[in-house]
Amino acid sequence: MSDLTPRVRFCPAPSGWLHVGSVRAALYNFLHARRHGGTFVFRIEDTDATRATDESMHSMMEAMRWIGLDWDEGPDVDGEIRGAHGPYRQSERGALYAAVVRRLVDAGEVYPDFRSSEELEAWRASHRRGEGEGPPVVKAATFEHTPEEIARFEAEGRVPSLRLRTPDDGAFVVDDLVRGEVRWEWEQISDPVIQRSDGSATYPLANSVDDVAQGITLICRGEDLLSVTPRQGLIHDLLTRDRLIDEALAEVGMPARDPSWTQPEAFAHLPMVVGMDRKKLSKRHGSVAIQEFRRKGFLPETLRNFLALLGWSPGDGRERLEDDELIALFDLSAVGRSAAAFDEDKLLSFNGDRIRDLSVEDLAGRLVEHLDGTLGERALVDSPPTEAQMSRLVGLVPLIQERMQRLDEVENYAPAFFIDDLEIDPDAVDRVLSKPPAVDSIAGARRVLSDVDWSVDAIDTALRGLAEELGSGFGRVAQPIRVAVTGSTVSPPLFESIELIGRERTLVRLEHAEGVARAAA
C-alpha cells in the first residue's frame, strides 16, 4: 500500500434497483474513504446497452442520496457532475476503450475470435460434459485462428470479438484485504473477451481501464467478482507498464492521470449478503431494493448502522454506532469472510431504538412524508402540512414514539387524530362494543367528559372515577371508550389521546359509538 490517500469507487451497473448487498459494498467504500481522508468515486457501468437504463441510474443516485452515502466524484441527481476525472458514465468513455484496444492490438496482446456465441456455447457444453481435452479454458494456444482462417472469415464479412491473451503458466496471487492470499494458476484462466463484435468494450476491459484512468487505489466489491481479479490485475499491468493508459487518455482528450497514480494496489472482496434461507437475496425475501426501506419507514441511519454490522463489528460488542464512530472504527481487514444473512427482524429492532431516540420535532418532520401522500396509502395532511396539522402531529409524536418500529406505522395511528368521520373497526365492535360494560362505559364517559377540565389529569380523574362508580376494573371500562374514541382496540394511551383529539370530537364519537354499542348488544 502506498502512502497516497485512497481513491475508492462504487460502480453499479444501472439495471434494476439498488440492492442492499450493493449498498453494503458502497457503504464500506464510503467508510474506508472517509476514515482515511480519501475520495469516493461513483461511476456508472453502463457498457451493456441492452440492460442499462436511465431510469435505473437515476433511482440508484436517489437511493444513494437518501441513505446518505455522498460521493466526491461522479454524476448526481440534479445533473451536476463532480470530479475532474470523468466522464463517469462508461457509455461516454467508449473512445478511451477503443484507443486502449488499438494499443493492445498493436502490442500483440489481443487476438480476434470469429466464433459465434452458439459455437462457443456448444464448445463449453461439451467440456462440461467432460468431453473435450483439458479443462474448459479458452487459451490462445487452442483458440487463436490461423491466418488462413482469419482471411476466410474476413472474406465472409464476419466481424470478430477480441480476446486478451493471458499467460500460459505461472500464477496470479493477490493479498486480499479480507480474504488473505488467494492464488490462481494462469492455465485455469480463460482469455477474456475485451471488445464485443459490435466494437463495444466489455466489463473486464472498461472496469479495469477506468480504475486505472481514475487512479483507484483500492478495489472493494462483492465476492461475486473475486474470480475476475486475475485478468483485471493483468490489464492493470498492461495499461501502466508502458504508460499505455496515458497515451490513450491523451489521444481521446480525456483528463490526464495524476502523476503520482500507479494502479490499483489492493483488493477487498466482501462476503455476499444472503436471505435468511441462505439463498441469494431476491424479491421473495421481502425488501431488497433500498427505496423499499424508505417506503417502509426505516431511518437511513438505521440502515447505515445495520449494514455496517453485516460482516463487520468494532470488536468491543457495541452495536449502536453513529456515523462518526463508524468512520473512526471501520477497518476492512476486520471484515468477516462468510456470507451474512439479512435479518429484517434485527433491523426492525435497531430502527425502533433509533426512532425512540429522535427529538419530537425531528421525528415529526420525518413522519410527514408518510402522511401527506408521498409514501403512504392516503393523504391525511396537506403537502406541505398546515401549521395546525403540524402542531397536531407534534402533539401526537410523544404518544406514539415509543411504540413505533417503523415510521409508516404512523399511518395506522394518525387517522383518529386527523380525520373527522372515523370508522370503527368491525372487529372491535364485535369484541368490545357488543359486550357488557360498553354501553354503560361510553354513556358514562359522555357524561363525565362533557364538562370536565380539558387536561390529561382531569380526564384521568374523571374516567377513573367513572370506573369506580360502575364498580368495574378500569381496564374493562377503558377499552370500550378507547374503541369509541380511536376506532380501534389498539391505540396510544387513552387520556392523552382523548386530550389531543379534543372535547368536541371526542363527544361526537362517544355519542356515535354508544348507538353502535346499543345496536350490537
Partner RNA sequence: GCCCCCGUCGUCCAGCGGCCCAGGAUCCCACCCUUUCAAGGUGGUGACGCCGGUUCGAAUCCGGUCGGGGGUACCA
Smallest separation, CB 259 to RNA (Å) = 29
Q: In this structure, which amino acid lies at residue 153?
A: F
Binders in 156-175 for RNA, by CB under 7 A: 160-161
The C-alpha atoms of residue 460 and residue 474 are separated, in whole angstroms, by: 11
Judged by CB under 7 A, which stretch of 148-156, 182-190, 433-441, 509-517 contacts RNA?
182-190
Binding status of residue 272 toward RNA by CB under 7 A: yes
Cβ-based nearer residue to RNA, 282 or 374: 282
Binding status of residue 180 toward RNA by CB under 7 A: yes
End-to-end alpha carbon distance in the chain: 79
Q: Are strands 81-82 and 74-75 parallel, antiparallel or unpaired?
A: antiparallel
Smallest separation, CB 360 to RNA (Å) = 15
Binding status of residue 152 toward RNA by CB under 7 A: no
Smallest separation, CB 222 to RNA (Å) = 8
CB 59 within 8 A of CB 291: yes
30, 32, 45, 376: which one contacts RNA (CB under 7 A)?
45
- For residues 330 to 349, the per-residue mask of contacts with RNA, x marking binding by CB under 7 A and - elsewhere, is ----x-xxxxxx-x-xx-xx
Smallest separation, CB 404 to RNA (Å) = 7
Judged by CB under 7 A, which stretch of 31-39, 68-76, 178-186, 385-393 contacts RNA?
178-186
- Please, what is the Cα angle at 242 between 73 and 106, to 5 degrees? 105
**What is the phi/psi pair of residue 359, to 5°?**
-70, 160
Binders in 393-432 for RNA, by CB under 7 A: 402-405
Binding status of residue 280 toward RNA by CB under 7 A: yes
Please, what is the angle between helix 229-241 and helix 203-213, to 10°?
Answer: 50
Cβ-based nearer residue to RNA, 328 or 490: 490
40, 42, 267, 312: which one contacts RNA (CB under 7 A)?
312
* Catalytic one of 283, 296, 346, 435: 283
Length of the chain: 521
Report the candidate in 319, 289, 308, 293 with the shortest Cα–Cα distance to residue 407: 293
Binding status of residue 225 toward RNA by CB under 7 A: yes
> Is 296 a catalytic site residue?
no
**Cβ neighbours around 251 below 10 Å, total:** 15
Enumerate residues 6+ apart whose C-beta is below 8 A from 377: 411
Three cell numbers, residue 519: 345496536
Residue with grid cell 470478430, as numbered in its chain = 160
Binding status of residue 309 toward RNA by CB under 7 A: yes
Binding status of residue 128 toward RNA by CB under 7 A: yes
Binding status of residue 319 toward RNA by CB under 7 A: yes
Q: In this structure, which amino acid lies at residue 274?
A: V
- For residues 86 to 125, the per-residue mask of contacts with RNA, x marking binding by CB under 7 A and - elsewhere, is ---------------------------xxxxx--x---x-
Q: In this structure, which amino acid lies at residue 270?
A: L
The C-alpha atoms of residue 236 and residue 263 are separated, in whole angstroms, by: 6
Cβ-based nearer residue to RNA, 68 or 336: 336
Binders in 489-518 for RNA, by CB under 7 A: 489-495
Binding status of residue 18 toward RNA by CB under 7 A: no
The C-alpha atoms of residue 64 and residue 289 are separated, in whole angstroms, by: 12
Give the single-character DSSP code of 285.
G
Cβ-based nearer residue to RNA, 188 or 373: 188
72, 353, 425, 440: which one contacts RNA (CB under 7 A)?
353
Residues binding RNA: number (CB under 7 A): 91
Binding status of residue 482 toward RNA by CB under 7 A: yes
Smallest separation, CB 387 to RNA (Å) = 28
Binding status of residue 253 toward RNA by CB under 7 A: no
DSSP 3-state helix, strand, coil percentages of the chain (rounded to 5)?
50, 10, 35
Enumerate residues 6+ apart whose C-beta is below 8 A from 326: 31, 304, 305, 308
- Catalytic (active-site) positions: 283
